[in-house]
Structure 1
Amino acid sequence: MTELAGRDEHGTEQSISDDVYYQVMLRDRHGRVRLMGRGVTPTSYFGSRTTSSNHNGAHRIEILENEIGEIRRKKQEREEELQREILEMRKKAQELEEQRQQEFDQMKRNFEAQTEDIQRNFDEQSAAMEERILQTLLLRATDLHNAGKRPICTHS
């Protein structure tokens, strides 16, 4: 039986087999173990408690190191996940920037096309107006010319 039963009054962990013996025989004083004869000490009979404590301490250290390793592994996984998310966000930002640039370029083309339409309409209207002005001037010049050839009528 190597399971731990608890701690004695000095805070040292005891195994169940130690605890059962002490409950039946009471604690030995003066470094002796009852019914075992002279020279048998609790350390020689039960083994060093510090060895047991060291073993338990080493086991606890191993458990803690495993926990630390698990925490580091989870941290590494989380960092990798965050890196993937960052890359994904950068890719999405790049796509949005490209989309914005395409929309801007399309708006620029539309504006230029509208400007060209306005300029063409203006040029057409300007040419039509010039034509009408020229026709009007030509008519007036013709009228003036014809007015000079007409006989002057006097009303008597």
Structure 2
Amino acid sequence: MKSKAPSILSGDIVVTGSIVSEGEIQLDGSVDGDIRAGSLIVGEEASITGEVMAETVVVRGRVTGSLHARQVQLAATARVEGDIVHAALSVESGAFFDGHCRHSSDPLSATKSGPANDKAGKASKSDAGAPPKPAGLSPVEPASKSGV
């Protein structure tokens, strides 16, 4: 596989929609949508409103939405409002995090189908009629988008 240069989205870029890349993305602008990448660096002035899925994520700016990554690093300037599913998490002093974090051996397979669903999309039959355990997860997402 060829080594590719990172995709850099500068501070004057505003994206409405999803971004998908197998490589590295450095975001300094703002994204209103989901991001799927091999590696993501969120700059100090950057903001994301949506779900992030990547092998590695370094957050220096703002993320409003869930993070799913094998390695997550929240820098001192980070502001994350949402849930984090990770294999490894590092939080610097001064970082702001408001949400739930959960360790998972495979965080990229634990998607919107629910936190109780940690085994590559296999939900138990008993979950069908029961309310989800973390009651605040699902209702928060639609409420934040309804004001748009």
* TM-score bracket for this pair, using the shorter chain length: under 0.3
Q: Which has the higher helix share?
A: 1
Larger relative contact order (Cα-Cα within 8 Å, sequence gap ≥ 6):
2
**Bigger CA radius of gyration:** 1
TM-score calculated relative to the size of structure 2: 0.20
TM-score calculated relative to the size of structure 1: 0.20
